[in-house]
Amino acid sequence: MTAPVIVRAPAKVNVQLAVGGLRPDGFHDLANVFLAVGLYDEVTATPADRLRITASGPDADQVPLDEGNLAARAALALARRYGLAADVHLHIAKDIPVAGGMAGGSADAAAALLACDTLWGTGASRAELLDICAELGSDVPFSLVGGAALGRGRGELLEPVETGGTFHWVFAVADGGLATPAVYRECDRLREASGQGFTAAELPDPEPSAALLAALRTGDASALAGAVSNDLQAAALSLRPALADTLRAGTQAGAMAALVSGSGPTCAFLASDENAAKVVADALISSGTCRTARTTSAPAPGATVVG
Ligand SMILES: C[C@](O)(CO)[C@H](O)COP(=O)(O)OP(=O)(O)OC[C@H]1O[C@@H](n2ccc(N)nc2=O)[C@H](O)[C@@H]1O
Ligand SMILES: Nc1ncnc2c1ncn2[C@@H]1O[C@H](COP(=O)(O)OP(=O)(O)OP(=O)(O)O)[C@@H](O)[C@H]1O
């Protein structure tokens, strides 16, 4: 019998998410500085008589178990490319919040892709795997590579970003998710309402912040705290005004920076060290402004075979 393959893939926070105007294809050009953080989903691939998805973990009931699951789509895409049948059981041990702006589905897609590639011995090159990742979603290539990277285009064109130390983070997990397309739409609506325009023809190209990249390179948490930014934050707050209370609670507890993670509603807090992170997490939990709070560190590795 073929042994199961287990792959772990990380969640992300966007330390800079600069959003350009709406493109004719419905996406936005980004200068997206991704940082992989140490919260992981684990995908186990086992040979089966058909494609089957199961999920476990506290949020498992929110994970689709049909072909809409990004892990299933990853297996199907790899099988199609190599003329194989996607006869595999993918079990997702889910620890990344669902629809939380932390790329949980993308992590599962990258993990499933690597797991099936290993299980089936397809031997796809890194470039081929990245190509399939980009077809599956804008965040998926980063889930495969991890660490830190600048995503251009719709976020799928990655350039490595150097990091010089460990950053300590707290994530406040909200009740219920936010749909990514709705948050981008709200961003467009707010821009149009403010009179600045919202199309790619009207807005300048988004650019990465030199100060932010330098802070990552030198491992300087204070400098990073001063440089983080998220152009989707106003839209996430507009759709979920209570997130302002969560951000305030973390800041009052001593976080060096507080921002919405990607499209939200998870809020991310940078802390000076592990102890400070724990203080912020405890304060967030007792504030009642989130469902739970998790502490972790970054950068974390990308999708990795662990067994
Ligand atoms: C918010 C982020 O998580 C930041 O990393 C990503 O930009 C979202 O990446 P994702 O969830 O992988 O998104 P995709 O599955 O590629 O796209 C979902 C939808 O989000 C919107 N979308 C996504 C990426 C992008 N650069 N511009 C967009 O406008 C589009 O409406 C798209 O139809
Ligand atoms: N493996 C998966 N895990 C979780 N959700 C999935 C998965 N596959 C598909 N989905 C669907 O995708 C939606 C968004 O899930 P996901 O957890 O990836 O959101 P997200 O973390 O906000 O994404 P991102 O940060 O990339 O915008 C879910 O509501 C669910 O319907």
Q: What is the pLDDT of residues 55-110, one digit of tens each?
A: 999 999 999 999 999 999 999 999 999 999 999 999 999 999 998 999 999 999 99
The predicted structure's pLDDT at residue 1? 65
Ligand 2: centre distance to CA 99 (Å) = 5
The minimum-distance atom of ligand 1 relative to the CA of 14 is 5
What fold does the segment set 5-162+301-305 form as a domain? Ribosomal Protein S5; domain 2 (3.30.230)
Counting from 1 in the atom list of ligand 1, the atom nearest the Cα of 180 is: 20
- Whether the predicted model's global pTM rises above the 0.95 cut: yes
Question: Atom 32, ligand 1: which residue's CA is nearest?
Answer: 181
97 class by beta-carbon count within 10 Å (0-12 exposed, 13-18 middle, 19+ buried) = buried
Q: Where in the chain is CATH 3.30.230.10?
A: 5-162+301-305
- Phi-psi category of residue 116: left, alpha or beta, with phi > 0 → left and psi -120 to 50 → alpha: alpha
Q: Which ligand is nearest to the CA of 99?
A: 2
CATH 3.30.70.890 location in the chain? 167-298
ipTM: 0.97
- Among protein residues, the one whose CA lies closest to atom 16 of ligand 2: 99
Give residue-wise pLDDT tens across range 183-233. 999 999 999 999 999 999 999 999 999 999 999 999 999 999 999 999 999
Class of domain 167-298: alpha beta
Report strand pairing: 5-22 vs 229-230.
parallel
Pull the structure tokens for residue 184.
């981008």
Cβ proximity of 63 and 177 under 8 Å: no
